[in-house]
Amino acid sequence: MLAVEEKVLPCRVFRLGTMAYEEAFRLQLKLAEARGAGAIGDTLLILEHDPVITIGRSGKIQNILVPQEALRQKNIQVVFTDRGGDVTYHGPGQVVLYPILDLRPFRLSVPGYVYQLEEVVIRLLAHYGIAAGRVEKLRGVWVPQGKIAALGVHLSRWISRHGIALNVNTDLDAFRLIHPCGITDRPVTSMRQVLGRTLPMAEVESLMVRTFGEVFHCTLEEKSIEELEPFR
């Protein structure tokens, strides 16, 4: 799996609660710059977003299926961003994981990094008895009911931004407003839909952090969000 010669790497964790997408994007940019300069160590952001549709580098505006005015009435923003991929939705009830990592000590290729992110979610879901996996030529994590987690990353000089979004208690009706990731023939699902019950978000976040540490062979230390003030 991870080619790190039994070396455990430190990583800070920040739980940010609910945050607007653009604010989180600016924070990622500043943290990535600092990580590239060696001013900070590897950092993990875990949060939920206010309702937003994001369009990645290969996104097509026609994959948004309703007029802008209809989205405004639902208080859903539209934001162009620099992650890979097409169109997706973020909103309450979705756990979003943004690793700001220098991938060189991990000795990971870009496909290897993506594989590891997917593995974090696959292992997390297995904890709840949900059998999940990958679909050839399609990013993200899938269960028989559909796509349960979306993935999009950006790398610059081996510093990572963006990450993965897991539908926990997400309102799936929002995905009807788009062709998620440009896919028209496969549904989107959530942990709540699969299990038939609402899950505690804090519990899933904690398991996400713990599983990330296992997959990426990291020691994780949760930090106060006040430490991020210089980057906001």
The answer, yes or no, to whether residue 4 has pLDDT greater than 80, is no
For residues 16-32, give the mean pLDDT. 97
The answer, yes or no, to whether residue 145 has pLDDT greater than 90, is yes
CA atoms in the 13 A half-sphere facing the CB of 232: 10
Dihedrals phi, psi of 89, to nearest 5 degrees: -120, 140
> Which member of 45, 141, 181, 220 is catalytic?
181
Q: What integer pLDDT is reported at residue 184 of this predicted model?
A: 85
Query: What CATH code is assigned to 9-231?
Result: 3.30.930.10
Summarised one tens digit per residue, pLDDT across range 57-89 is 988 899 999 998 999 999 999 999 999 889 999
The answer, yes or no, to whether residue 2 has pLDDT greater than 80, is no
The answer, yes or no, to whether residue 5 has pLDDT greater than 60, is no
- Express as a percent the part of the chain with pLDDT over 90: 88
CA distances (Å), origin 103, targets 32, 39, 52, 136, 185 = 12, 16, 28, 24, 34
- pTM for this structure? 0.94
Q: What integer pLDDT is reported at residue 6 of this predicted model?
A: 53
Active site (annotated) includes residue 181: yes
Domain extents for the chain? Answer: 9-231
Give 181's pLDDT tier (boundaries 50, 70, 90). Answer: confident
**SS3 for the chain, per residue?**
CCCCCCCCEEEEEEEEEEECHHHHHHHHHHHHHHHHCCCCCCEEEEEEECCEEEECCCCCHHHECCCHHHHHHCCCEEEECCCCCCEEEECCCEEEEEEECECCCCCCCHHHHHHHHHHHHHHHHHHCCCCCEEECCEEEEEECCEEEEEEEEEEECCEEEEEEEEECCCCHHHHHHECHHHCCCCCECCHHHHHCCCCCHHHHHHHHHHHHHHHHCEEEEECCHHHHHHHC
For residues 198-220, give the mean pLDDT. 97
